[in-house]
């Protein structure tokens, strides 16, 4: 019997790309492929790309280039480029010119066509390019190969209609399309039956969920339906947009122990002129009002954000307002980025294109990170002496005698390991004893909660 062909998928970017990769993998399993742990042994490599910043693109271009050698030594190997970069005309042109060793390019709207596209590759010498410019209907019931463990991602809304002036996502992911509520409920119910207990619902704009359905729904309707499903212990939702964060949603979160009290509220900038130029559709005052309503209703909320520095026109004074806002909100953590102009977005067409000089951008990023690290440390220090439920993901990369996991609010927790006891995928009560900027550590404070995934891992994962 011939051995099954093997695939390797390299995923860049956000959780939506991770989920798309699981769907690609599921389709490949169905047509007889097996997963390969290494790219060098694979018969098919898929690079699932991200276009959100130039650095993400550089990584993918570098990897595509690097695979030329592998392809030369294994000509039967097939190489496909998928994801958000594939939606950009510039990428297809680059591949045709610089990377003819790529066999297939397909986009974010037609990944369900993967089996047919692979057949087409065998019929053509030149690179097969099949990228849909816009999204079709939502495709349900695709097979999927999920990660091991008890954590699972579930799409609830695709695309984004917000058109922030710096952002490529509305162009690579198309208009907003929500999945029907019963389809999401059925998927989560099936996952819970399989042993998945930590569910993350996904969208570029989760709190626009349901606005396009008939009759219209709110994200709170969906979360309230999902939290009732037996076996669902934690329910996360990413990424929300501050603009549509309804009072109903705040109250649904406040009244639930299942819906995470981790509230990610991407602010992007602290000054009104910059927010306006970014087309974020809220003011600094409206944002701060939202934060204070969240804090009042959910006193144990863990707040995080995304911030861009060096947006066109950002003056030192504008930046000071960002620092000021960070001091006022006191986020648990912030993801901070240097502005990266994206071809095809409105901001990239403005005069001067990317006027804030690089050294100034870097200096602002450093000052912002320094401030945030101090606040993160102070927030973590406050947790010393509390007992947190921690979902164990695997062994610490730095020390195999230590377990690494996360709290419901997504804080990393380290825990000394007794090699005789397997805690993987277990929800373990941990008394927090130490706090650093990026993690907490502590001691087990009771038996793991009941229930675990029926899936078994061959090796203990490093996290
Ligand atoms: N839908 C989400 C985020 C999507 S992208 C939201 O609206 O919050 C994730 C983050 O990348 C954004 O929040 C933003 O901070 C950052 N980002 C997006 N485009 C960028 C660009 N052109 N340059 C730098 N950072 C960018
Ligand atoms: Fe991009 Fe703005 Fe949409 Fe987020 S809301 S994906 S930043 S356009
Ligand atoms: Fe990147 Fe596309 Fe996600 S651009 S951030 S992979 S939606």
Gyration radius of the chain's alpha carbons:
23
Atom of ligand 2 lying closest to residue 241 CA: 5
Ligand in nearest proximity to the CA of 85: 3
Q: Does the C-beta of 163 come closer than 6 Å to ligand 2?
A: yes
CB 111 within 8 A of CB 20: yes
Determine what percent of the chain is predicted with pLDDT higher than 70: 97
116-136: per-residue pLDDT in tens?
A: 999 999 999 889 999 999 888
Q: Tell me: the pLDDT tens digits for 281-292?
A: 999 999 999 999
Residues 159-212: pLDDT tens digits?
A: 999 999 999 999 999 999 999 999 999 999 999 999 999 999 999 999 999 999
292-321 average pLDDT score = 98
CA 463 to CA 455: how far, in whole Å? Answer: 18
Q: Does the C-beta of 25 come closer than 6 Å to ligand 3?
A: no
Q: Three-state secondary structure along 243-286?
A: HHCCHHHHHHHHCCCCECCEEECCCECCCHHHHHHCCCCCCHHH
CATH architecture of 387-444: Beta Barrel (2.40)
Distance from the CA of 331 to the center of ligand 1, in angstroms? 17
Task: List, chain by chain if needed, residues with CB within 6 Å of any ligand 1 atom.
Answer: 52-53, 166-167, 169, 204-205, 239, 241, 266, 268, 306, 308, 337, 339-340, 342
Query: Distance (Å, rounded) from C-alpha 175 to C-alpha 438?
Result: 36
pLDDT tens digit string along 323-372?
A: 999 999 999 999 999 999 999 999 999 989 999 999 999 999 999 999 99
Q: Which of 205, 238, 239 for a ligand 2 pocket mutation test, highest count of atoms within 8 Å of Cβ?
A: 205
Mean local confidence (pLDDT), 429-442: 97
Q: Over the chain, what is the mean pLDDT? A: 95
- Sign, CA dihedral 361-52-336-366, equals negative
Kindly give, in sequence order, each residue whose CB lies less than 8 Å from that of residue 205, ignoring residues fewer than 6 positions away.
157, 160, 161, 162, 176, 239, 240, 241, 244
Residue 297's pLDDT is: 98
* Helix ranges (DSSP H) in 141-218: 169-173, 181-194
Pick the CATH number of 6-130 from 3.40.50.12160, 3.40.50.2000, 3.30.390.10, 3.10.20.30: 3.40.50.12160
Q: Is 52 in the pocket of ligand 2 (CB under 6 A)?
A: no
How many whole angstroms from 57 Cα to the centroid of ligand 2? Answer: 18
453: pLDDT strictly greater than 70: no
Tell me phi and psi for residue 414, to 5 degrees. Answer: -105, 150
Domain range annotation of the chain: 6-130, 146-260, 387-444
pLDDT of residue 209: 97
Q: d(Cα 402, Cα 413) in Å, to the nearest integer?
A: 10
Q: Is the pTM of this model over 0.85?
A: yes
User: What is the reported pLDDT for 82?
Assistant: 98
Question: What pLDDT is attached to residue 461?
Answer: 67
With bands split at pLDDT 50, 70 and 90, how would you rate the model's confidence at 137? confident
Mean pLDDT within 419-448: 95
Separation of CA 264 and ligand 2 centre (Å): 14
How much is the pLDDT for 344?
94
Check if 173 has its Cβ closer than 6 Å to any atom of ligand 3.
yes
CA of 136 to the centre of ligand 2 (A): 20
As to burial, measured by CB atoms within 10 angstroms (0-12 exposed, 13-18 middle, 19+ buried), residue 210 is: buried
pLDDT at 324: 98
Instruction: Compute the distance between CA of residue 205 and CA of residue 214 in angstroms, rounded to an integer.
Output: 19
Percentage of the chain lying above the pLDDT 90 cut: 92
Q: What fold is seen in the domain 146-260?
A: Transcription Regulator spoIIAA (3.30.750)
Distance 344 CA to ligand 2 centre (A): 14
Pocket test for ligand 3, best of 13, 85, 158 (most atoms within 8 A of CB): 13
């Amino acid at each position: 019997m011939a051995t099954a062909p093997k695939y390797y998928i390299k995923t860049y970017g956000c959780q939506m790309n991770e989920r798309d990769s699981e769907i690609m993998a599921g389709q490949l399993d169905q047509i007889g492929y097996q997963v390969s742990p290494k790219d060098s042994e694979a018969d098919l490599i898929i690079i699932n790309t991200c276009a959100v910043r130039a650095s993400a693109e550089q990584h993918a271009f570098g990897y595509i280039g690097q695979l030329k050698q592998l392809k030369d030594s294994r000509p039967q190997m097939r190489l496909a480029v998928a994801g958000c970069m594939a939606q950009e005309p510039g990428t297809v042109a680059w591949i045709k010119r610089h990377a003819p060793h790529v066999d297939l390019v397909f986009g974010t709207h037609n990944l369900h066509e993967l089996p047919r596209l692979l057949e087409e590759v065998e019929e053509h010498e030149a690179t097969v390019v099949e990228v849909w410019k816009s999204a079709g209907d939502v495709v349900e019931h695709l097979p999927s190969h999920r990660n091991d463990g008890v954590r699972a991602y579930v799409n609830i809304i695709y695309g984004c209609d917000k058109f922030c002036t710096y952002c490529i996502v509305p162009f690579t992911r198309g208009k907003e399309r929500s999945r029907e509520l019963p389809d999401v409920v059925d998927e989560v119910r099936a996952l819970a039956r399989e042993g998945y207990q930590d569910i993350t619902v996904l969208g570029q704009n989760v709190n626009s969920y349901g606005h396009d359905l008939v009759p219209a729904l709110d994200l709170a309707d969906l979360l309230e339906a999902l939290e009732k499903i037996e076996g669902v212990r934690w329910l996360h939702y990413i990424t929300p947009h501050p603009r549509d964060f309804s009072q109903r949603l705040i109250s649904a979160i406040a009244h639930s122990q299942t819906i995470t009290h981790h509230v990610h509220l991407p602010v992007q900038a602290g000054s009104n002129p910059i927010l306006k130029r970014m087309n974020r559709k809220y003011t600094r005052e409206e944002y701060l009002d939202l934060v204070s309503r969240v804090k009042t209703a959910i006193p144990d909320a863990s707040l995080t954000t995304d911030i861009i520095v060096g947006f066109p026109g950002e003056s030192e004074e504008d930046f000071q307002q960002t620092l000021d806002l960070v001091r006022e909100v006191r986020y648990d953590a912030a993801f901070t980025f240097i502005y990266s102009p994206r071809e095809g977005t409105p901001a990239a067409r403005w005069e001067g294109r990317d006027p804030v000089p690089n050294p100034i951008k870097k200096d602002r990023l450093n000052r912002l990170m320094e401030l945030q690290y101090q606040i993160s440390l102070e927030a973590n220090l406050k947790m010393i002496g509390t007992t947190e439920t921690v979902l164990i993901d695997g062994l610490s990369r730095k020390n195999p005698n230590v377990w690494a996991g996360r709290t419901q609010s997504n804080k990393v927790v380290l825990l000394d390991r007794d090699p005789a006891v397997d805690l993987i995928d277990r929800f373990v009560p941990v008394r927090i004893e130490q706090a650093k900027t990026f993690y907490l550590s502590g001691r087990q404070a009771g038996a793991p909660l009941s229930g675990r995934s029926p899936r078994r891992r061959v090796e203990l994962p490093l996290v």
